[in-house]
Structure 1
Amino acid sequence: MKPKYKIFDTHAHYDDEAFDEDREEVLKQIQEAGVIGVLNCACSRKSLTTTNDLTLKYDFIYGALGIHPSDAYDYNEEVKDEIIEKVKANNKILAIGEIGLDYYWDENPDRETQKKVFREQMELAKELNLPVVIHDRDAHKDTLDIMKEYPSVKGIVHCFSGSVEFAKECVKLGYYIGITGVVTFKNAKKIIEVVDAIPLDRLLVETDCPYMAPVPNRGKRNKSDYIEYIIEQVAEIKKIDPISTNMELNDNFKRLISEGK
């Protein structure tokens, strides 16, 4: 049976150990289920290599390379050079990410270190003329302030968790809003308001797999074909046809990537 949707997952972690036992089978299955593309996002020093390797092995997987704020202490000149080298050698690396700020965990690097590393990677994205994939957890104001320092850099605010006002500020700066399976949760009032308020042409859909599977698979290991439930929820909020929603969301990602070229 032909899949209902053509799904592009704009944020995944298929190099995560959660897929170590059956990665090949999962990637085959999601393609058969209608997944036409995946942006696999690095977060650690190790995942710069594992993400890059996935893009070289699988035609439909693309990459973003960067250091997550939880690993900010690992970012240095050597890591920067490694990212540059991989970007120049591999035209399937489409973005710098995931980068940003995470104030949720007490054990994370201190805020000043996170901000310094975030700025350095925003500068790198500017130099390489690539969009960014931004991680923002409990750090909306500082994230926005740093985004404003780099007006020529565009990208995605991934796994968006802020208010409608914050989303509008991000869109004003030329960013797209990443919508995860959270939009399908019963207590998802805030993100539903964001989807309702922000034009469809500034939204993207993502899994952040293996995390945050949408209803009806909440609690399971997430994977890209589950995006169908996110598409349908966005379509319902917007009161438009799910197939048209799917096509426009895919076009949004293509536009983001082409804007920097």
Structure 2
Amino acid sequence: MENGFVDCHCHISAHEFEEDFEDVILRTREAGVKTLVAVTEEVGEFARVLQLQESYPDLVAPCFGIHPLQAAEGPQQRSVKPQIGLDFTPWCAPTQQDRDDQVTVFIKQLSIAKELDLPVNIHSRSAARVTIETMKEQGISRALLHNFAGKPSVALEGVKAGYLFSFPPAVCRSKQRDKLIKQIPLEHICLETDSPALGLHQHVRNEPANIILPCRYIADVKGLPPETVRLVTAHNAYRLFPKAKTR
């Protein structure tokens, strides 16, 4: 098993890190993080992530996708086409047509992942059941559902399909997901920060060094040593993202 943390879902290319990027990376390494799965939210970030991979080949593993909610011209926001994942929150998908459009493009994205033999890193807000059902119908066997907040019964359907689930520092804010974490086997759990968002404090910038927080929390909920959670979740991550391990 691996000796360091794997942050399975972070936005290290976000503009929030521009001013003190080197310090963030230093703290990341000091915290024992060995791999950052660098997730994009828009096409404009693709080149930045590739640049970061070139600069930090032993740390940054690119993960390309587009968030379901994208800024349009003016104050409006719209469902994007294309995307990886589903977001059925009312402000993102107010109508059934919006949801149907998301599912249509989601399936197209899943087909690309299958064609390239790549795992998928999934955003599934207020859409856990549909997301898991769609992935199963499309024959997806390797998937991470990040910041998962669905029902335990839905999560267990994903476990049966072989999917993994990751949790960020924000999970420490309340005991709302304790039952969920207890029921998902540790062999199906990964760690993430989703930084700069989903930190311990809602309006404070999160960063990869905070990966220790969900590790400790999950360990506490499951009655395990944090070291065990760190080792097993890293092993799970590299099993799902084998190309990240070779960095």
Question: Could you say which TM-score interval applies, normalised by the shorter chain?
Answer: 0.7 to 0.9
Paired residue for 1:20? 18
Partner secondary structure for residue 195 of structure 1? helix
1:52 CA drift (Å) = 2.1
Partner secondary structure for residue 50 of structure 1? helix
Deviations 1:129-181 (A, max 9, x none): 01000101111232122112222441100110101101101111111011112
Contact persistence 2:81–2:105 (CA under 8 A):
no
1:73 CA drift (Å) = 3.6
Q: Could you state the TM-score of these two structures normalised by the residue count of structure 1? A: 0.82
1:108-257 paired onto structure 2 within 5 Å: 110-186=98-174, 188-189=175-176, 191-214=177-200, 217-257=201-241
1:49 CA drift (Å) = 2.1
| Structure showing the higher helix proportion among its residues | 1
Contact persistence 1:180–1:212 (CA under 8 A):
yes
CA distance in 2, matches of 1:164, 1:239: 19
1:34-49 paired onto structure 2 within 5 Å: 34-49=32-47
**In angstroms, what is the RMSD of aligned CA positions?**
2.0
CA distance in 2, matches of 1:73, 1:239: 41
The amino acid that maps onto 1:57 is S
The amino acid that maps onto 1:69 is P
CA distance in 2, matches of 1:254, 1:111: 32
Structure 1's 107 and 243: CA in aligned 2 closer, same or farther, altered over 3 A?
closer
CA distance in 1, matches of 2:134, 2:4: 34
The amino acid that maps onto 1:50 is R
Structure 1's 136 and 120: CA in aligned 2 closer, same or farther, altered over 3 A?
same
Moved more, 109-118 or 169-178: 109-118
Report how many residues are paired.
Answer: 229
Structure 1's 126 and 153: CA in aligned 2 closer, same or farther, altered over 3 A?
farther
The yes-or-no answer on 1:66 pairing with 2:60 is no
CA distance in 2, matches of 1:62, 1:49: 13
The amino acid that maps onto 2:7 is D
Paired residue for 1:94? none
Which protein has greater RCO, CA pairs closer than 8 Å, 6+ apart?
2
1:65 CA drift (Å) = 0.8
CA distance in 2, matches of 1:69, 1:145: 18
The amino acid that maps onto 1:29 is R
1:74 CA drift (Å) = 4.6
CA distance in 2, matches of 1:231, 1:54: 26
CA distance in 1, matches of 2:12, 2:240: 22
CA distance in 2, matches of 1:9, 1:148: 25
Contact persistence 2:181–2:221 (CA under 8 A):
yes
Deviations 1:14-41 (A, max 9, x none): 1111112111221122112322111011
Partner secondary structure for residue 25 of structure 1? helix
1:107 CA drift (Å) = 4.8
1:108 CA drift (Å) = 5.3
Partner secondary structure for residue 84 of structure 2? strand
Contact persistence 1:6–1:34 (CA under 8 A):
yes
Structure 1's 34 and 203: CA in aligned 2 closer, same or farther, altered over 3 A?
same
The amino acid that maps onto 2:63 is A
